[in-house]
Amino acid sequence: MTSNKSLNDRRIAATPRGVGVGTAIYADRAENAEIWDVEGRRFIDFAGGIAVLNTGHRNPIVMERVNEQLARFTHTCYQVVPYTAYVELAERLNELAPGKSPKKTLFVTTGAEAVENAVKIARAHTGRPGVIAFSGGFHGRTHMTMGLTGKVVPYKKGFGPFPGEIYHLPFPMPPHGVTVEDTFDAMDRLFKADIDPSRVAAIIIEPVQGEGGFYIAPKELIQRLREVCDAHGIVLIADEIQTGFGRTGKLFAIEHSGVEPDLITTAKSLAGGFPLAGVIGKAEIMDAPEPGGLGGTYGGSPVGCAAALGVLEAIEKGKLLERSTEIGKRITGRINRIAERNDVLPIGDIRNLGGMIAFELVKSRGGNEPDADAAKALCARALDNGLVLLSCGVYGNTIRILVPLTAEDRLIDEGMDMIEKSLTELSAGRAAAE
């Protein structure tokens, strides 16, 4: 029998260490919110492929669409011989994107590629070079998107220098004393000291920071950014790669703010596990690049577009926007009850927007000092107990929950039981060591 250990030994010998792997289990099969490894052990999936599987592993509606497409053709290159699925999906997303402005949509392959193209489009539209992003933000691993990303380790270390004309503002983090006013004070200084707003092409923001720690952008922040962009002719880009497609209880998280962005980047759960990404935006901005200026050999894969049409159908039929809100209430309620116990590792701030849920581990009960070691230990212990769980955050102490929105209550409760058990075991171990 193939074992996890033997595969891990082969991985270490065959692949570079720079491709970090969070677990030492190797997937054999998966259904909805469960994974079985090559040794036959079952795991509940609270990671969802890092927010790729909002509609679950192998969603039947998605798989039906994919199989139909596979039986017809797998690739022509859209720029050579176009096809219906690309156009149909673009039409659907143009209708669903927030705001009343006419929209157009470009499809590419990865989230980083979507962000790169959004920046290209913004620069073509404005004729300006500057881009403003936020500390703690994550936008990808290409050279441009590393520059935009506001976290050094592990994403930027050793890879510089990065493209010029990229600037960062502090992102509001109430548990750690960073406010909306801090953000705009920093913007005022930026415009006085580093770049005139007339040279800024775009401001890019995640409505909820992903890798940065699941900090939710306050409505006031988004609304004031919209005002700044309108005043100076700057393109506002909402990076919805991790927050999109129902994760927060809306199709796009930016909808919670009531603001219409100029461009939206999307990927991850767009195609339910198949590689597809896109840029959705106001038509007059999307049309700024010259013909041939946008595209890519695999961009808008026919299989990926078919999968994405299945995702939209699954979200509608399964009422997954409402389900996301229900899951958020169920899980945060449970975390709050766990946090009241004295025999678990100390839990600090608990936050969610719909089914995008996080809690921080801190060094003392009632305190606010981040405990990254505890977060790392919890993910490892949870895996031992049968749960795939992820940490994140600038301080490395945030536990994020991205369970598929199709997961049943019983399975969610079982996963939360595993978190509670793991927190209790780690607390007991810490007490014994002291």
Same domain, 324 and 312: no
Domain boundary among 291, 317, 343: 317
Same domain, 313 and 323: no
Asked if residue 67 is part of any domain, the answer here is: no
How far is it, in rounded angstroms, from Cα 187 to Cα 171?
A: 11
User: Sign of the C-alpha dihedral, residues 204, 206, 210, 212?
Assistant: positive
CATH number of the domain that residue 283 is part of: 3.40.640.10
Is residue 161 reached through a cis peptide bond, with omega within 30 degrees of 0 on the bond before it? yes
Residue 311 near residue 62, CB atoms below 8 Å? yes
How far is it, in rounded angstroms, from Cα 42 to Cα 128?
A: 52
Neighbours of 384 (CB within 10 A): 11
Asked if residue 68 is part of any domain, the answer here is: no
How far is it, in rounded angstroms, from Cα 43 to Cα 18?
A: 26
What phi and psi, each to the nearest 5 degrees, are found at residue 162? -105, 165
Same domain, 167 and 268: yes
Residue 54 near residue 320, CB atoms below 8 Å? yes
Residue 375 near residue 369, CB atoms below 8 Å? no
Same domain, 309 and 373: no
pLDDT digits (tens, 9 = 90+) for 288-342: 999 999 999 999 999 999 999 999 999 999 999 999 999 999 999 999 999 999 9
Same domain, 285 and 425: no
Note down the domain range covering 240.
73-317
Asked if residue 162 is part of any domain, the answer here is: yes
pLDDT digits (tens, 9 = 90+) for 327-350: 999 999 999 999 999 999 999 999
Query: What is the average per-residue pLDDT within 263-277?
Result: 98
Same domain, 173 and 298: yes
Same domain, 324 and 351: yes
Domain boundary among 317, 346, 372: 317
How far is it, in rounded angstroms, from Cα 226 to Cα 125?
A: 17
Same domain, 187 and 101: yes
User: Sign of the C-alpha dihedral, residues 328, 331, 332, 333?
Assistant: positive
Same domain, 418 and 279: no
Q: Which residues lie below 8 Å from residue 206, measured CB to CB, with a gap of 6+?
A: 134, 137, 138, 212, 217, 238, 239, 240, 241, 242, 243
SS3 state at 29: strand
Same domain, 128 and 271: yes
Asked if residue 36 is part of any domain, the answer here is: yes
The total number of structural domains that make up the chain: 2
Per-residue pLDDT band for 153 (boundaries 50, 70, 90) equals confident
CATH number of the domain that residue 28 is part of: 3.90.1150.10
Query: What is the average per-residue pLDDT within 409-433?
Result: 96
How far is it, in rounded angstroms, from Cα 224 to Cα 232?
A: 12
User: What is the largest distance, in Å, between two alpha-carbon atoms of the chain?
Assistant: 67
Asked if residue 151 is part of any domain, the answer here is: yes
Per-residue pLDDT band for 99 (boundaries 50, 70, 90) equals very high
Residue 132 near residue 191, CB atoms below 8 Å? no
How far is it, in rounded angstroms, from Cα 432 to Cα 434?
A: 5
pLDDT at 160: 86
Look up tokens 């994405």; give the residue. Answer: 308
pLDDT digits (tens, 9 = 90+) for 209-234: 999 999 999 999 999 999 999 999 99
Query: What is the average per-residue pLDDT within 246-251?
Result: 98
Domain boundary among 290, 317, 344: 317
- Burial bucket for residue 240 (CB in 10 Å: 0-12, 13-18, 19+): buried
Same domain, 287 and 248: yes
Residue 251 has pLDDT above 80, yes or no: yes
